[in-house]
Amino acid sequence: MNQTATINEQLRDIKPLMEIPDSSYYIYWGLIIFTVLLVSGILFFVLKKVWENRKVNLAKGYLTALKNIDWKDTKRSAYEATHYARLLATDERRKELFSQLEPLLEQYKYKKEVDEVDQETRNRFNLYVQVADESV
C-alpha cells in the first residue's frame, strides 16, 4: 500500500500540459495585409502622379491649339477657340475670362456668313491665352 500511495502522490504532482500561445497565424496574416496595403499605397501614388502629368500635358496641348488658331476662317476659328478655351477654363480666373470671351465668340458661330473678328474679341482672346499660358 505504501508503494501505491507514493505512486499516487507522484502522479498527483504531474501537471497537465501547458498551452503555449501561438500567434504565428496572426503574424502571417498581418504581414500579408501590411504588404498588400503598402503595395496598394505605392501604386496609388504612382498612378496619381502619372494622372497629374497627363493632365498637365493635355492642358499644354490645348494651349498650343489655342495659339495656333488661324483667324482667316472666322467661323471655324470661333468654334475652335470656344472648344479649347472651355477645356482650359479650370480655375476661377480662367472661368471668368472664358465667360466674358464666349459671348463675343458666339456672334461668329451660328451665321452663314460672318465678318472678320473685331478687335475687342481678339483682345479678350489674347488676354485669355496669356492668362492660360501663365497658369499652365
Q: Which three cell numbers stand for residue 101?
A: 470671351
Question: Please, what's the b/e burial string for 54-71 (b: 16 or more CB within 10 A of its CB; e: otherwise)?
Answer: eeeeebeebbebbeebee
Q: How confident is the model at residue 59 (pLDDT cuts 50, 70, 90)?
A: confident
Closest among 127, 42, 45, 50 to 93, alpha carbons compared: 127
Write down the pLDDT at residue 81: 92
Closest among 50, 117, 51, 133 to 84, alpha carbons compared: 133
Q: Which three cell numbers stand for residue 109?
A: 458661330
Q: Which three cell numbers stand for residue 112?
A: 452663314
Maximum mean pLDDT: which of 24-33, 67-76, 107-116: 24-33
The predicted model gives 73-86 an average pLDDT of 91
pLDDT tops 90 at residue 39: yes
Write down the pLDDT at residue 42: 97
pTM above 0.85, yes or no: no
Q: How far is CA 93 from the centre of its chain?
A: 21
Q: How confident is the model at residue 12 (pLDDT cuts 50, 70, 90)?
A: low
State the first-to-last Cα distance of the chain, in angstroms, to the nearest integer: 102
pLDDT tops 70 at residue 82: yes
Q: Which residue has the cell 465668340?
A: 105
Write down the pLDDT at residue 84: 93
Q: Which three cell numbers stand for residue 89?
A: 477654363
pLDDT tops 70 at residue 14: no
